Amino acid sequence: MVLNPLDLSGRSFLVTGASSGIGRAVAQLLSQLGARLLLAARNYDKLEQTRESLEGTGHRSESFDLSKTDDIESWLVSTAQEFGRLDGLVHSAGVLSTSPLRMLSRARIDAMLNVNLIAAIALTRAYCSRKVRTDHGGSIVLLASTMGLVGQPGRSAYAASKGGIVARWGLASHSTLPTASPIFWETRGVG
């Protein structure tokens, strides 16, 4: 018998930002490896498009606004009670605005910090609950960016939010991000 070390049969994962881009691609790959997926983002129709593109059965779409950071823990606990406990999560939801700082509204800064960084912390906290994670533990993948390492003109708030992820991943023993790869993917706008 040949064992596949990447076999995720019987495993369940949350993928945020699964309505688009990298999150959608991650969900598709995890499903091809046998995982059951809980897909989260705001746009339910696009989540359903992702769900229909997945291999296997038992996947679920959950419309949720991750900028509502105070609600994340209760949302994840109640969702996991219905969906089943999770073997891990991938936080791919992200917001990017490219603009000189003086032209960037406070609301836009808040959106970037909340979705990119505060939501990542809240999801990690929620995942530590035994009501959310499986007994054998699991993996948390937080999408960072090279901007979090080097910054870029016009992207200071985005870089700050991703820099917070870069700093955190040394602190969170659950996080699994082996390298920060200087690669850009063409998606609908976050970079």
Ligand X SMILES: NC(=O)c1ccc[n+]([C@@H]2O[C@H](COP(=O)([O-])OP(=O)(O)OC[C@H]3O[C@@H](n4cnc5c(N)ncnc54)[C@H](OP(=O)(O)O)[C@@H]3O)[C@@H](O)[C@H]2O)c1
Q: Does 132 bind ligand X (CB under 6 A)?
A: no
Among 158, 169, 122, CA closest to 14: 122
Of the pair 56, 191, the CB lying nearest ligand X is at: 191
Shortest Å, Cβ 5 to ligand X: 25
Residue 115 near ligand X by CB under 6 A: yes
Catalytic position from the list 13, 64, 127, 158: 158
Residue 60 binding ligand X, by CB under 6 A = no
Indicate whether 20 belongs to the interface with ligand X (CB under 6 A): yes
- Say if CB 106 and CB 141 are below 8 A apart: no
Give the Cα separation of 119 and 114 in Å (integer): 6
Rounded Cα gap, residues 18 and 130, in angstroms: 24
Q: Is 85 helix (H, G, I), strand (E, B) or coil?
A: coil
Given 11, 13, 23, 27, the residue binding ligand X (CB under 6 A): 23
Candidates 11, 15, 21, 123; binder of ligand X (CB under 6 A) is 21
Residue with tokens 């996991």: 80
- Whole-angstrom Cα distance, residue 112 to residue 110? 5
User: Does the annotation count 158 as an active-site position?
Assistant: yes
The residue within the footprint of ligand X, chosen from 14, 17, 118, 177 (CB under 6 A), is 17
For ligand X, which is the closer residue by CB, 9 or 125? Answer: 125
* Biggest CA pair distance of the chain: 62
Stretch 62-81 residues interacting with ligand X (CB under 6 A): 65-67
> Quick one: which of 92, 140, 159, 163 contacts ligand X (CB under 6 A)?
92
Residue 186 sits at φ, ψ, to 5 deg, of -80, 105
Could you tell me if residue 94 is left (phi over 0), alpha (psi between -120 and 50 degrees) or otherwise beta? beta
Q: Mind telling me the catalytic residues?
A: 158
Which residues here bind ligand X, judged by CB under 6 A? 17, 19-23, 41-43, 46, 65-67, 92-95, 115, 143, 145, 184-185, 187-191
